[in-house]
């Protein structure tokens, strides 16, 4: 079961990826984790990636793909894996397909957690954080006992820059521009499945498992 998770920032795809990994005992793989592990272990690929990151440059698609293919070739991925955050663009998707094909493998499903922009903006702009102890809240789903005050340490809660509606909209625009074409790409490949990400987290998960258990 080799899966790719798609979905806009804030759609909840990371949460679903973790739940899938847990249920089916397969690794949840994010590119950030791969970068960190390779850099920490001083691998050749890690050293190459670090030279770009140290200069504040994006790691080239080819190198990112090499890192991902190296990771999914490890023994714990024999039964499958969930890729979260990769591929982000068509060239990355094409590189991944070619690299997997070369080792006799392929992606089984690309799962799109579909949530309209306005829902994501509403979700994220409702978040509040305590900068002192790191606790997080949501005005609608997990409100603090006292408005604007952290339950844990009593400090004032703030709306982080990343969660402001205008910042969220910018990130969504980038997502639609770069990653939306992947929806078409995997639709053509006949492996795209779409789930309604506006539903309760458990309902979304149930919809995904129904597809995977067919």
CATH number at residue 16: 3.40.50.300
Q: How many domains does the chain have?
A: 1
**Residue 164 among the catalytic residues:** no
| Of the candidates 62, 41, 60, 42, the residue with the CA atom closest to the CA atom of residue 52 | 60
Q: Please give the helix or strand (H or E) that residue 104 lies within, else none.
A: none
**Residue 171 among the catalytic residues:** yes
**Residue 13 among the catalytic residues:** yes
Q: Please give the helix or strand (H or E) that residue 29 lies within, else none.
A: strand 28-30
| Of the candidates 167, 149, 166, the residue with the CA atom closest to the CA atom of residue 158 | 149
Q: How many CB atoms lie within 10 A of CB 169?
A: 15
Give me the catalytic one of 13, 19, 71, 123: 13
Domain encompassing residue 34: 2-212
| Of the candidates 7, 3, 18, the residue with the CA atom closest to the CA atom of residue 198 | 7
Return the pLDDT at 52.
87
pTM for the whole thing? 0.83
| Of the candidates 90, 96, 124, the residue with the CA atom closest to the CA atom of residue 9 | 124
CA distance 6 to 113: 6
**Residue 36 among the catalytic residues:** no
**Residue 123 among the catalytic residues:** no
pLDDT digits (tens, 9 = 90+) for 190-202: 999 999 999 999 9
- Give the rounded percent of residues in the chain with a pLDDT score beyond 90: 71
């Amino acid at each position: 079961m080799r899966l790719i998770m798609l979905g806009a920032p804030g759609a909840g795809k990371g949460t679903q990826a973790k739940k899938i990994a847990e249920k089916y005992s397969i690794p949840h793989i994010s590119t950030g984790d791969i970068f960190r592990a390779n850099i920490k272990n001083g691998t050749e690929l890690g050293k190459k990636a670090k030279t770009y990151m140290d200069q504040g440059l994006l790691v080239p698609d080819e190198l990112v793909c090499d890192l991902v293919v190296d990771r999914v070739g490890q023994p714990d991925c024999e039964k499958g894996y969930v890729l979260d955050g990769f591929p982000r663009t068509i060239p990355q998707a094409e590189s991944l397909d070619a690299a997997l094909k070369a080792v006799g493998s392929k992606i089984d499903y690309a799962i799109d957690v579909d949530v309209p922009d306005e829902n994501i903006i509403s979700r994220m702009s409702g978040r509040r954080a305590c900068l002192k102890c790191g606790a997080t809240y949501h005005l609608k789903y997990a409100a603090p006992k006292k408005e604007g005050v952290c339950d844990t340490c009593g400090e004032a809660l703030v709306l982080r820059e990343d969660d402001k509606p205008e910042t969220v909209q910018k990130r969504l625009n980038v997502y639609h521009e770069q990653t939306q074409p992947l929806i078409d790409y995997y639709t053509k490949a006949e492996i795209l499945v779409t789930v309604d990400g506006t539903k309760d987290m458990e309902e979304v998960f149930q919809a995904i498992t129904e597809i995977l258990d067919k």
